Amino acid sequence: MARLVLGNTEKIIFSSTSCSSTTLSTASFHLEQPLIHPYTSIRTQLISPSLYLYPLQDLTPQSTYEVRLSYPATVPTDFQLSLICNDTDIQGVLIQGHYAGVSREPGMENVPVPVDIVLEKLAFGIVYHGIYKIILMIGLVLTLGYFIILPRIKLFLLQPVKFD
């Protein structure tokens, strides 16, 4: 069975109070702009093989977050996301990319990969923080339809037909 794949996504879900990942070593990395609570979206280009550190700022205690990295499937690259910790504090997300394809064109492994990096706060560990607005809007539309629109349709349909 063949499927059309237009993009890939890597993600890491973590709690702001638990840090069980790697500590920062002396590896060379590119320090990038910070990902700030409650929502940050960055569109950039990453070159593989490289290490990119995105600092995390203003995380609220006892909260769950997700960092997503989305990139096109036309560029065969493997990305790995890991948390960088300092004692018990989360310092940032380290993104490591490696070109995973085989190309006849020389230098394809150094082509920049367009990516979208998103930090988003999760509610209850699974539901995205911004979904409350959508749930409220759906509830408002259903209530409006049930109490205002449906009674008017019912009255219109139950009107006696006049024959002249």
Cβ atoms < 10 Å from Cβ of 37: 17
113-123 vs 64-72, strand pairing mode: antiparallel
For residue 144, the model assigns a pLDDT of 93
What mean pLDDT is reported for the chain? 82
pLDDT at res. 23: 56
Closest CA to 62 of 115, 124, 107, 119: 124
Peptide bond between residue 49 and the one before it cis (omega within 30 degrees of 0): yes
Give the Cα separation of 60 and 19 in Å (integer): 14
- Residue 99 CB contacts under 8 Å (≥ 6 apart), including other chains: 48, 49, 76, 77, 108, 109, 110
Listed residue (84, 57, 66) closest to 124, CA to CA? 66
Stretch 86-109: mean pLDDT, rounded? 81
Spatial separation of the C-alpha atoms in residues 75 and 52, rounded to whole Å = 18
* Tens of pLDDT, residues 8-66: 888 888 887 777 656 555 467 778 888 888 788 889 998 878 888 999 888 888 888 88
| H/E run at residue 150 | helix 150-157
In this prediction, residue 99 has a pLDDT band, given cuts at 50, 70 and 90, of confident
